[in-house]
Amino acid sequence: MPGDDIENRGGGGGGIAEAKSRANNRANNSIYSASSTSYMIDDSETQWTSWLIPMFVVANVAMFLAVMWVNNCPKHNLGIQGRCVARFLGRFSFEPIKENPLFGPSAATLEKLGALEWTKVVQNHQGWRLVTCVWLHAGVIHLVANMLSLVFIGIRLEQQFGFVRIGIIFLLSGFGGSVLSSLFIRNSISVGASGALFGLLGAMLSELFTNWTIYTNKAAALITLLVIIVINLGIGILPHVDNYAHIGGFLTGFLLGFVLLPRPQFGWLEQQNLPAGVPVKSKYKAYQYALWLICLILLIVGFTVALVMLFQGENGNDHCHWCTYLSCVPTSRWQCHEN
């Protein structure tokens, strides 16, 4: 069964369930506070109505129900009485706890409906899985953790920057997480939106940097965000948690934040109130333009190189032997077998 955290990497058994439960609880709790600490500027500026993030939540819930309908646990567990969990739900009942401790469908169903799997993406040319896996969830626990995080982070961002920019960051970050995950992990499937969620966290951090001069409490905002990010990325060193998806999504969102989330200078916003003859300031500061250009180039080059490597069948571990420790650090209590 695919693993969890906010993103899943496959595996089965009680040890995995324990790691996934710890990861979900800690990541979910720590992410919530990000939306209220990063933004400390005047709330009198224009606010958009958030509708895209709620639509994403509805779409993910609907997709999970569709997956459970297709899974139909009682049908493929005929003759084994009581094996499905919550059998009173009929075809929406969950797989046995030993197979899926997150109360959800089987790994076979997830793979059938679009989970990320290296062989199918590269050898079977099913690149669409890099996108579809973001909209699948391994179970009720996984779904609730992701959607609560998305609401607490995404709604505030959408209110401040609008649905277009936040939608682009969410989708491209999820894609970036899938690409990096596929480059390094080949032996299991993956589902979940953690790449997209970490992308929103990365965008919050770069937005703080690129709009540094307009924040009233810079140190508090920066320290809070860094602590949240370090904690959530640190969770990824647990076994059976796909930290490559976290890192790929975070880096994508971080670069996109410099491209999509710079705020205009105050002088430019107030130019209509200036007397005639007063020179008008540039919309953005010079460093914002510089960061915009550099990050746009890095995004284009990064995606191009990563996709070429992926579809040529390159294994990221062959080019970065120490990168395996970014996703799992072996200890006396667990071993890392994935890579």
For each of the domains in the chain, give its residue range(s) and CATH number, in order of start: 18-325 (1.20.1540.10)
Give the active site residue among 173, 194, 206, 327.
194
Within a 13 Å sphere around the CA of 298, how many CA atoms are in the beta-carbon half? 16
Structure tokens at 272: 């209509």
The stretch 167-191 carries a mean pLDDT of: 93
Residue 272 has a pLDDT of 60
pLDDT for residue 217 is more than 70: yes
Residue 278 has a pLDDT of 56
Distances (CA, A) of 153 to 53, 190, 318: 9, 23, 36
246 given a catalytic annotation: yes
Distances (CA, A) of 315 to 78, 251, 312, 338: 41, 20, 9, 13
Tell me the per-residue pLDDT of 139-166, one tens digit each, with 9 for 90 and over: 999 899 889 999 999 999 999 999 999 9
Between 78 and 222, residue with greater pLDDT = 222
Read off the pLDDT band of 46 (50, 70, 90): low
137 given a catalytic annotation: no
